[in-house]
Structure 1
Amino acid sequence: MDPLSDIMNLISARSYVTVGLAAGDKWSAQFSPFDGLKVICIRKGIFWLKSGENETWHELKSGDGIILTDGETFSMCTKNGDKKTLINSKELTHTKDLGIINYGDDTNVLLAGRMSVNQLGNQLFKKELPAVMPFSTGSSTSSTLNWLLKQLLQESTTQGLGTIVASNHLMHLIILEILRIWIITNEDTQSGWFNAIKDDRIAKTISVIHQNPSKDWSLSELAEISNLSKSGISQKFNQLLGLSPLKYVTYWRMQIAIKALYQGNTSIKDIAFSLGYNAESTFSTAFKRVHHISPSAYRENIEHTS
C-alpha cells in the first residue's frame, strides 16, 4: 500500500455526499460547523464563500471548488446575495428534489460532500492543510477530477439504483483526487506527512515502515531502502517530518495503537505484541513518551467521553 492510502486508512477516512444545492442570484446563507473535510464544487453559476471569522470572500465560478478543513461555520452567497445578514441554511425556505435542495431556482448549482475522519485525522488536516483550499477543474492536472464531478452530478440528479453508494464512492474519489493535486502542486509546505511523501525515496521508506510496523528496524536497513546514507536519510526525515527514521517508526506504531484503543476491546498487552513490543510495560513507556499519557489512561478517557 502507498503512504497516502496508509494515512487515509489510519484516520478512518469515509466520504459521502451531503447535498446538492440550487439557488437564484439573491441568495445567501450560513452553514453549521463540521468535522473532517468539507468539499464544495460549483457546477453552474457563481457563488461566494467565506470561512469562520475570516472576512475574505472567495469567488467560485462554474468548474471551481473549495475544500474547508477548519471545521468552522462558513457562509455562502450568490451574485446579489446579502453578505451582511446571514441566516442559517436550515431556516431558509426550500424544496428538495432528486438530491438537490432548491432555494428558488437553478441559476446557480453546487454539489457538496464531506470526508469524516477520526480524531487523529482532524488533527492532521488542521496541522498540515490550509483552512481553505481552492481548486479548479479547468487546469491541466484536473481532467480526472472534472470527469468524477460530472459523474457525481449525474448520479445526484437521476437517483437510480444504488445511487447513494455510488455517489459516496465518487465523493471519496473526488476528495482524494483534490488532495493528490494539492500534494503534487503545493510548494508552500516545508514539512509534514503530505510534503514528505512527495519525495520518492522517503515515500518508499515510509511505505515499508507502514507495512511492517512491528519489525525491529535498524537505521542501516531504512537507509538501504531509501538508497541514502544513514546521515542522508536522518537529515531527510528530520527536515520533512521533524523526526529521525527510528523515532518515526515509534510514532507510527503509536498512531496505530491509538486507533486500536478507539476501535475495540483488544487488550493493551495484545496491542503491544502486535506492534513488536515484547512487554506491555515497554509499549506503555513508548506510548506515554509520544502521547504524554499511558495507554490505560487513554482508554479510560475514551470510555468516559463516549
Structure 2
Amino acid sequence: MNTPAPWTHVDPLGEALHFLRMTGMFYCRSEFSAPWGLALPPMPDCMMLHVVASGRAWLELDGEVPRALSAGDLAIVPRGTGHRLTSQPGVASAGLFDLPRELMSERYEVLRHGGGGEPAQMICAAVRFSHPAAQRLAALLPAALCVDSRQSPHAQWIDQTLRFMAAEARTLQPGGETMVTRLADILVILAIREWIERDPAARIGWVGALQDKQIGRAMARIHREPERDWTLNALADEAAMSRSAFAARFTRLVGESAMQYVARWRMQIALGWLQEERVPLAEAASRLGYQSEAAFSRAFKRFNGVTPGAARRTSTSERTG
C-alpha cells in the first residue's frame, strides 16, 4: 500500500464546504411593521437564508417549534421547505408573491408589509447549489438552522458579515448582488460549522465519513478526480488500508459501496455539467472516461432517473419558465 506522505494535509470536509458556492435565485430586503406575517412557498432545490438586520421575528415551519429571532440572528432553511416569518407566532401570513414588491434589479426586490407597529428589517435570499458535494451536504442538514450571533463562538465574524451584508442590501451599489451572494456563502459555512460542532447527527453518515481520517481521504480523491479509473484497490491504497477492511468500513460509514459511490458521484458531476455548464454530451462522456455516449447515457439514467437530454431540457425550461 502507498502510505500518504506525513506532511500531506487532507481536509475532506473542508473541501466539501469549499463547494458551497451559491447562485442567487432572488434577494429581498424586507421592511416589516407589527403585526406582520410572510409565507414563503416551497422552493425545491433551493436554500433559503434569512438575516435579521433589526427588530425581532419568528420562524415557523410545519411540525417544528417556532423559533425566535433577534437582530443579528441568522436562519437557514436548507431544503427550500415552505415556511413563515412573523412578528408573533400564529399571526396571519400573506404569501410572498401576493404582496407588492419594488423591483430593484432582475433578482433583487424590496418588500414593505405590516400594520404600522414595531419595525423589523430582514434580508432574505433563495439560493441554489450546483455542485453535488454542496447538494448532498444541504440534504443532510436539519429542517432549519438558526444561529444566535451573540452566543456563537464565531460571534465577531458573524456580526461583521451581517453588518456588511445589511449595508450592501440597503444601497445595492454596482456589484451589490455579487457581494451579498458571497457574504451569504460565508454565513452558510459558519452556520454549518456550528451544526457540525454541536450536533451528533453531523458525526454519522456522509458527513461523518468525510471526517474519518482514512475514508475521508479516499472520498476527497474521488471528489477531486472523478474521471480517474478508480478501483477498489486504488482507493484502499489512498486510505492506507487493506482492500477488505477499506471496503467494509466505507460501506458502513457511507451507506453504499465505494464503487457505487464513485459511479454515483460521476453522474452527479455530469448532471451539473449538462445543466449548469451546458457541456456537450460527448464531452461529458469523454471527460468521465466512457468509451461511448450510449454507455454514458445508460449510466446517467440509472443514477439520475432521466436521460442526459431530458435533464438538459428540464434545466432549460426552468431557466426560461
TM over 0.5: yes
| Structure 2 residue 43 is the aligned partner of structure 1 residue 34 | yes
- Correspondence for 1:204: 217
Instruction: Give deviations 1:247-288, integer Å, cap 9, x for gaps.
Output: 211111111222233346655443222111234444344334
Alignment of 1:117-136 (within 5 A): 117-118=129-130, 124=136, 127-136=139-148
- Alpha-carbon RMSD: 3.8
> Counterpart of 1:225?
238
- Partners of 2:179 and 2:316 lie apart in 1 by 35
1:85 paired residue number: 92
The code of the aligned residue for 2:153 comes to S
Work out whether residues 47 and 76 of structure 2, in 8 Å CA contact, stay in contact via their aligned partners in 1: yes
1:67 match: 76
- Aligned residue identity for 1:31: L
Question: For residues 49 and 184 of structure 2, what CA distance do their matches in structure 1 show?
Answer: 9
Unaligned 5+ residue runs, structure 1?
none
Correspondence list, 1:10-159, <5 A: 13-15=22-24, 18-35=27-44, 36-51=46-61, 53-54=62-63, 56-78=65-87, 81=88, 83-89=90-96, 91=98, 101-103=111-113, 104=116, 107-118=119-130, 124=136, 127-138=139-150, 139-159=152-172
Q: Is the 8 A contact 1:13 1:115 kept in 2?
A: yes
CA-CA distance at 1:76 after TM superposition:
1.9
* CA apart distance, 1:152: 0.8
- What is the distance in 1 between the residues matched to 2:154 and 2:274? 39
**Structure-2 separation of matches of 1:161 and 1:105:** 33
Shift in CA distance, 83/95, structure 1 to aligned 2, threshold 3 Å: farther
- Taking structure 2 as the reference length, what is the TM-score of the superposition? 0.76
Q: Please, what TM-score do these two structures have when normalized by structure 1?
A: 0.79
Structure 2, unaligned stretches of length 5 or more? 1-9
Q: Distance in 1 between matches of 2:164 and 2:71?
A: 16
Q: Distance in 2 between matches of 1:299 and 1:161?
A: 32
Conserved 8 A contact 1:17-1:167: no
Q: Percent identity?
A: 23
Give the secondary structure class of the aligned counterpart of 2:216.
helix
Letter of the 2:90 partner, please give it.
K
Pair 1:210–1:92, CA change in 2 (3 A): closer
Task: Give secondary structure in 1 for the equivalent of 2:201.
Answer: coil
User: CA separation in 1, counterparts of 2:18 and 2:275?
Assistant: 14
Q: State the aligned residue count.
A: 303
1:50, distance to aligned residue in structure 2 (A)? 0.8
Deviations 1:131-179 (A, max 9, x none): 2222222211443223211211122234445333322221222223323
